[in-house]
Amino acid sequence: MSYNEFKVPLPVVFGNGAISVLGEKIRELGCKKPLVITEKALVNAGVAVKALDALKASGIDCAVFDEVASDPTCAVVDAAAKIAAGFGADALIGIGGGSSMDTAKAAAIAYETGKPAKEFVLAQPAMINIKIPVVLVPTTAGTGSEVTFVAVITREDVNEKWSVFTNTSLAVIDPELTYSMPKSITANTGLDALAHAAEAMTTNQTNPHSDLFGEAAIAKIFKWLPVAYNEPNNAEARTEMALAANFAGFAFNNPVTHIGHAVADALSKTFHTPHGYNCALALPEALALTAPALPETSAIIAKAMGAALTGNESGAELGTIIADAVRELMRKTGIKPLSEIAKRDDVVALAKDVADNHLSSFCPVEVTTEVAAAMLAKVYDNY
Ligand SMILES: [Fe+2]
């Protein structure tokens, strides 16, 4: 017997202007006192205001917690849960990139269970089902967190990015909220979405539904990320990228990611570079590593990237084609080489960390410390 499970976690509202229905949707969920969890930068840029206006227009009284920063910590989650409790929130709304949405997910667990985040953010993540509605509004086109069960939170006591899984209620995706993203964030988050799509297709837990979303996301990202990067107000590019990031979220929600994200986690905690940037650096080598084990899938990925294939390529050759294509996209979107930020020895020294990361167990190639060290050296040398 052979079967797959593909969980679709929640309904999605998608389209330009979709944010205007936020208040209405909160009411449909039976709520009237949500806590909005976001970042100060988004409040200052006027992005969060669109959501707050939509809530106000529906007569909803909300409170705002805007203390989220990149790589949110357990302390931030606990602080948000405390504000939710003080306000008596009946829903949590995460507005922002992965940091805000993941904080909202974890804060909902902390608020409902009364437990501090460090008790449930773990190296081997558990699924915790909650009753309080959590609504997610992405303002980047990257993380896909609006449709995944996972929240990635930094456990500051051990300097690790660990996770928890939970259920959420609704995603509201309005591409217009992504227009004001700086170029570097457009690039980093777009390449994070690419990593989600491509790693999801190359884990040892793949399924046909994920593959379909992944392939579509890869094709969209290769076509539209350079356009969104160069023309921030290009409506078609922003819409296609928002859709691609969402598709990639659906793609990796079930099979999760693998060694590319394990490398990215190690880089994040050591050099404090952005998640999407780290994922971009790792992706060419992650796909080159897995291609010999997955030649058919790698051919699909290469074609989605726009490569012209003869059909006679070996898995290793496909790996080279894919890795080169990703590096070309990285160059087009201003991704800096790791050598500008870190020393080679310090990067290769992360090998044990990468091998020990639970995500590496989803790689179809066994990730020993030696395999991880060889990959980290290539990440450093080949781009
Ligand atoms: Fe990611």
- The residue out of 178, 198, 221 marking a domain boundary is 178
Task: Report CA(311)–ligand 1 centroid distance (Å).
Answer: 31
Place of tokens 């059909």: 311
If you measure from the C-alpha of residue 59 to the centroid of ligand 1, how many angstroms do you get, rounded to a whole number? 36
Q: Is residue 258 part of a domain?
A: yes
Q: How far apart are CA 134 and CA 171, in angstroms?
A: 9
CA of 330 to the centre of ligand 1 (A): 16
Q: Ligand 1 centroid to 237 CA: how many Å?
A: 21
Domain shared by 222 and 130, yes or no: no
> What is residue 106's predicted lDDT score, i.e. its pLDDT?
98
Domain range for 361:
183-381
pLDDT tens, residue order, the chain (383 aa): 677 788 887 899 999 999 999 999 999 999 999 999 999 999 998 888 999 999 999 999 999 999 999 889 999 999 999 999 999 999 999 999 999 999 999 999 999 999 999 999 999 999 999 999 999 999 999 999 999 999 999 999 998 889 999 999 999 999 999 999 999 999 999 999 999 999 999 999 989 999 999 999 999 999 999 999 999 999 999 999 999 999 999 999 988 899 999 999 999 999 999 999 999 999 999 999 999 999 999 999 999 999 999 999 999 999 999 999 999 999 999 999 999 999 999 999 999 999 999 999 999 999 999 999 999 999 999 99
Within this chain, do residues 45 and 173 fall inside the same structural domain, yes or no?
A: yes
Q: In whole angstroms, what is the distance from residue 63 CA to residue 382 CA? A: 48
Shared domain check, 347 and 198: yes
Residue 315: the pLDDT is 97
Specify whether the CB–CB gap between 113 and 128 falls below 8 A. yes
Which token pair is 117?
Answer: 């985040």
Q: 191 near 329, Cβ under 8 Å? A: yes
CA of 32 to the centre of ligand 1 (A): 32
Local structure of residue 137 (DSSP, 8 states): E
Cα 140 to middle of ligand 1, angstroms: 12
Do 68 and 189 lie in one domain? The reply is no
3: left (phi over 0), alpha (psi -120 to 50) or beta: beta
Cα(267)–Cα(279) distance, integer angstroms: 9
Please state, in angstroms and rounded to a whole number, the distance separating the CA atoms of residues 328 and 124: 35
Q: How far is the CA of 190 from the centre of ligand 1 (A)?
A: 10
Q: pLDDT for 20-53, tens place per residue?
A: 999 999 999 999 999 999 999 999 988 889 999 9
Residue 136 and residue 271 in one domain: no
- The structural domain count of the chain equals 2
Cα separation, 162 vs 73, whole angstroms: 10
Please give the distance, rounded to the nearest whole angstrom, from the Cα atom of residue 8 to the centre of ligand 1: 19
- Residues paired with 164 in a beta bridge: 151
User: Three-state SS string across 311-353, please?
Assistant: CCCCHHHHHHHHHHHHHHHHHHCCCCCHHHCCCHHHHHCCHHH
First to last CA, the chain: 43
Distance (Å) from CA 275 to ligand 1 centroid: 7
Q: How far is the CA of 171 from the centre of ligand 1 (A)?
A: 18
Residues 191 and 112 in one domain: no
Do 169 and 198 sit in the same domain of this protein? no
Show Cβ contacts of residue 316 under 8 Å, excluding neighbours closer than 6 positions.
291, 292
Q: How far is the CA of 195 from the centre of ligand 1 (A)?
A: 7
Distance from Cα 152 to the centre of ligand 1, integer Å: 9
Residues 189 and 171 in one domain: no
* Distance (Å) from CA 15 to ligand 1 centroid: 23
What is the CA(91)–ligand 1 centre distance, in A? Answer: 26
Report the CATH number at residue 199: 1.20.1090.10
Beta-carbon contacts of 338 under 8 Å, excluding residues fewer than 6 positions away, are 267, 281, 347, 379, 380, 383
Cα of 130 vs centre of ligand 1, distance in Å, is 24
- Provide the whole-model pTM: 0.95
Same domain membership, residue 220 and residue 365: yes
Q: Judge if 143 and 276 occupy the same domain.
A: no
- State the CATH number of the domain containing residue 33: 3.40.50.1970
